[in-house]
Structure 1
């Protein structure tokens, strides 16, 4: 039921773990059941939440990341997605005011809501609390008077008597409408492990309990009121940066590693490649014996450590990637892709598995995150994705580390609140093959693809 009226809201929380992702998925089901075209979104760089958004809604989710994407570009991506939908449901990151450092107006859900002109619906945990919940909501309201908290949803409340007490307290002391409650759920629990949620693409997702959850929300939430308060008067102004030159991109084919081991790709990066004129052909390093007929290869992030035995045993695929490298086909490995392109991988149990061997180095799994978070990488020399002196913005999120005698290609820097937190070097290139732990969003500067495309065009 397409409509000219556009709706959008940011579903934010008081902290991580308050139920934002589960509620987002339930609302996507409830709104779609009404015949609305839904567009899921996520504040920040997360791949896992967005994977679940797509699995439940059938629509690729949009990462709205203010660190990697310039404001105009982010706004343009949001506008383009919303023009094909009736309502955008944007899941926040951590707590409402949590961003990069202590600045609540940098990379936070609150900052994004103000940038896009979207109201905020605040999720609060109602378990084991009564009137004190109003103090929590009031604190979030008063922390930034410029922000519109349009409504509140109370999570983990089964009893209507308990809910009415919480509702009265919030509406009496905070003067903000309470849109309803979410009972404790059992059939829609999201599985998790060391890097967060288990990826939705790693298993068949049973949609029935999620659709039932969406039907339940019709009875416990005032969705009509949610729709009324999320109507947008205007859409934010923005403009996409120029695509790579058609002479570089048109007619090229990119082989995209896509299976349970490699699944971390931003849909808007893939769309950008397609818009530039590149054909995307997916293949599985786990199960296929050969790479597709292609001009360039991309091994994205994921969980190669969980599938190391299968990846290692697939010797025809490993040989095919080695042969592609020797022929000069430009190959990019990102995080999990870097681990696969190395000589070997030692998992958390200490077991060693041979990998492709294009990059002289080995990955070793640890028991904690290594160099976690946003960072900026400046190329020390010309690489596939950046010329000498150019910088890329991205994030690292990994439990492994890569040990190699190869010279690093990037000087990496993490700053927070104006202070340098850490410096390190990373990224390794051999011939036309580049591997790095840095996750990148190509829309930040599509011209970063030019070196990769030139290498592909030259090889072709």
Structure 2
């Protein structure tokens, strides 16, 4: 949750909009980023949020606005976390945009649940390709599938021309406003790979693409601010209740194209807990900084196998770090680099750190996707059985690789429905898993991962 500890006297009001779609692939992220850039160019302070566990779309939105994009999810992040972040944004912004995930009613909780909880009016982005009057039926269904859904407007994407746009507009029911249409536009398309959109840093000419899309939106009704929304601040906003268990501790964090899955909220949380954060790039050959703990976040190590394999000094330094009893957290891609090797999608094996026994094998089929929670014992405790509900951290997993290892899991995360989920490995103070943790879900438990 935000670092501010004082609550305003009353609710903050700020124009806000929840952007949804009937399904993935309709162009939500493109439209949200273009809206954010358009309003930013108009001199407005824009803050963007992304629903669900997503690292990639928020990178695009940060480029669009110049400000971090935070995640909102009623299960992983928590209702109070979302309320506090929205209230903090409303105190400084002229417009809040919240991008949904998948379709409006998909997931539990869904985007519709999030919009309803925070009173957000909804804009539906609908792919207009190969459809005409049925466009209105889709919008009508989104609005009326659940009584009380505040779907107020619709925008058509990938439209063939003016006549096509007229047909789409004519099909809309009277209670859904027409915002406008975006044409089929290859120049503005955002490229993808197996985990979603490309990271922002890898998209050539991203700023130019966003400006081009903003120019297209400027010709529609999208430049008009939506109605203001009240954002009450929750009674308690400090995630750590003033506790700073990481005070005086330096945490070295890998951050580059191979280690790019970092929630801004996690960094804020570690700082609020008292930690000093130092960043380094394994791909650039930068040495492990002097530190008390290390965090290797997720990313795309399989795409940089040759360069990572060459970083023998780093792997030796990390092995010495763990041997000295110092904490190391390795999440998903970060964990992958600590096994003996990674075999990439083309069948090429790259030697990795060797701190964990076994191999990582990339595959074309999705290996795991979903929310999960882990109960990890506090620093100084030695068995998973010592962990309680107070030690639970929430997060998610999403990966296309599998680990073949003789190492027995220290414990397992549980999926949101209670089924067994990702293995969590522990050697000394090294904690490794495919799970991505959301630290603000339990700052005290997060701090334990970085304590000796």
Aligned residue for 1:118?
120
Aligned residue for 1:314?
311
Superposed CA RMSD in Å reads 2.3
Deviates more, 1:186-195 or 1:297-306: 186-195
| 2:132 pairs with 1:135 | no
* CA deviation profile, 1:159-189 (whole Å, cap 9, x unmatched): 222222321220xx34211111111222121
State the shift of 1:54 in Å.
Answer: 1.2
Aligned residue for 2:321?
324
Aligned residue for 1:440?
437
Aligned residue for 1:157?
159
Preserved CA contact (<8 Å) 1:289 1:316:
no
**Aligned in 2, Cα 1:303/1:439: closer, same or farther, shift over 3 Å?**
same
* CA deviation profile, 1:215-262 (whole Å, cap 9, x unmatched): 2211123422xx1x3311344646335417645222211111000000
**Aligned in 2, Cα 1:218/1:195: closer, same or farther, shift over 3 Å?**
same
Instruction: Give the TM-score of the pair, scaled to structure 1.
Output: 0.89
Aligned residue for 1:388?
387
Aligned residue for 2:175?
175
Aligned residue for 1:376?
373
User: Which 5+ residue runs of structure 1 have no aligned equivalent?
Assistant: 101-105, 456-460
Aligned residue for 1:23?
31
* CA deviation profile, 1:94-142 (whole Å, cap 9, x unmatched): 1111113xxxxx2x11111111111110111222222222211111121
Deviates more, 1:243-252 or 1:117-126: 243-252
C-alpha distance in 2, partners of 1:53/1:14?
21
C-alpha distance in 2, partners of 1:109/1:247?
34
Preserved CA contact (<8 Å) 2:239 2:269:
no
Aligned residue for 1:218?
218
State the shift of 1:385 in Å.
Answer: 11
Task: Note the 1:246-265 alignment, pairs <5 A.
Answer: 246=243, 248-265=245-262
State the shift of 1:415 in Å.
Answer: 5.0
Aligned residue for 1:295?
292
C-alpha distance in 1, partners of 2:395/2:369?
11
Preserved CA contact (<8 Å) 1:151 1:178:
yes
Aligned residue for 2:9?
none
User: Which of residues 163, 166, 171 in structure 1 aligns to 2:168?
Assistant: 166
Question: SS state of the match for residue 39, structure 1?
Answer: strand
**Aligned in 2, Cα 1:276/1:375: closer, same or farther, shift over 3 Å?**
closer
Question: SS state of the match for residue 75, structure 1?
Answer: helix
**Aligned in 2, Cα 1:140/1:317: closer, same or farther, shift over 3 Å?**
same
Question: SS state of the match for residue 185, structure 2?
Answer: coil
Aligned residue for 1:275?
272
**Aligned in 2, Cα 1:373/1:158: closer, same or farther, shift over 3 Å?**
same
State the shift of 1:376 in Å.
Answer: 2.8
Deviates more, 1:160-169 or 1:394-403: 160-169
Instruction: Give the TM-score of the pair, scaled to structure 2.
Output: 0.91
C-alpha distance in 1, partners of 2:178/2:219?
14
Preserved CA contact (<8 Å) 1:427 1:435:
yes
Aligned residue for 1:404?
405
Aligned residue for 1:89?
97
User: Which 5+ residue runs of structure 2 have no aligned equivalent?
Assistant: 1-11
C-alpha distance in 2, partners of 1:184/1:174?
26
Preserved CA contact (<8 Å) 2:375 2:384:
no
User: Which of residues 42, 47, 57 in structure 1 aligns to 2:65?
Assistant: 57
C-alpha distance in 1, partners of 2:166/2:353?
60
State the shift of 1:263 in Å.
Answer: 0.5
What count of residue pairs does the alignment treat as equivalent?
437
**Aligned in 2, Cα 1:434/1:233: closer, same or farther, shift over 3 Å?**
closer
Deviates more, 1:427-436 or 1:370-379: 370-379
Deviates more, 1:201-210 or 1:246-255: 201-210
Preserved CA contact (<8 Å) 1:74 1:238:
no
**Aligned in 2, Cα 1:298/1:111: closer, same or farther, shift over 3 Å?**
same
**Aligned in 2, Cα 1:234/1:356: closer, same or farther, shift over 3 Å?**
closer
